[in-house]
Amino acid sequence: MRKYIIFQAGKREKTDWRNRKLQHTQALTWILAEYWDSSNKPIPTPGYRPTEFIRVDALHNPAEHGYSTHYRQGDWEVTWVETYTPDIPMGEFDIIVICYYKYNPVNAPLKPMPERQVSIDLFGGDTKAYEQWLESTKEPAEV
């Protein structure tokens, strides 16, 4: 089932504006995150907290990390969920889910991002492209 899940601050949520940032751009918004999910996992329910991704500049290594160096359980907690399904399934999604949040800070520990795992699947099964990528990541030989 293809799901579009939107995480949005509740309409009455009066938190400090710095806590209402879109996760991947850090822009101010009521929408905190959005996911496209094609798994068979159930949709989020009240109490769910999405993962928050954090960059610790002192530990950032572009060869190892994307933007984020760490992650933790987020401070936003789902309070209620609305779902919308099309009458005639013609679009890209089978269901659209809107999860409304309240700001409820937790003292969750920072965890380092796991090591990147690159497989041939990321190249759509293209063996040649995968092998070229492997070659491009090899360290040059010391002379």
pLDDT along the chain (143 residues), means of 10: 87 61 66 86 94 87 81 91 86 90 90 81 84 74 51
Q: Report the pLDDT value the prediction gives residue 20, as an integer from 0 to 100.
A: 61
Of 84, 102, 105, 104, nearest to 93 (Cα)? 84
Q: Report the pLDDT value the prediction gives residue 57, as an integer from 0 to 100.
A: 86
In order of 15, 30, 81, the CA distances from 46 in angstroms are 19, 18, 7
Strand segments, DSSP code E, in 69-127 are 70-73, 76-84, 95-103, 111-112
The whole-angstrom separation of Cα 96 and Cα 27 is 23
Q: Report the pLDDT value the prediction gives residue 84, as an integer from 0 to 100.
A: 93
> 95 in a domain, yes or no?
yes
pTM of the model: 0.66
In order of 1, 39, 87, 97, the CA distances from 91 in angstroms are 12, 17, 10, 15
Q: Report the pLDDT value the prediction gives residue 78, as an integer from 0 to 100.
A: 94
> 12 in a domain, yes or no?
yes
Q: Report the pLDDT value the prediction gives residue 46, as an integer from 0 to 100.
A: 96
> 91 in a domain, yes or no?
yes
> 130 in a domain, yes or no?
no
Q: Report the pLDDT value the prediction gives residue 142, as an integer from 0 to 100.
A: 55
> 133 in a domain, yes or no?
no
Q: In what helix (H) or strand (E) does residue 130 lie, and over which residues does it extend?
A: helix 127-136
> 120 in a domain, yes or no?
no
Number of domains in the chain: 1
> 136 in a domain, yes or no?
no
Q: Report the pLDDT value the prediction gives residue 77, as an integer from 0 to 100.
A: 92
Q: What are phi and psi of 94, to 5 degrees?
A: -85, -25
> 108 in a domain, yes or no?
yes
**Domain enclosing residue 107, as ranges:** 3-115
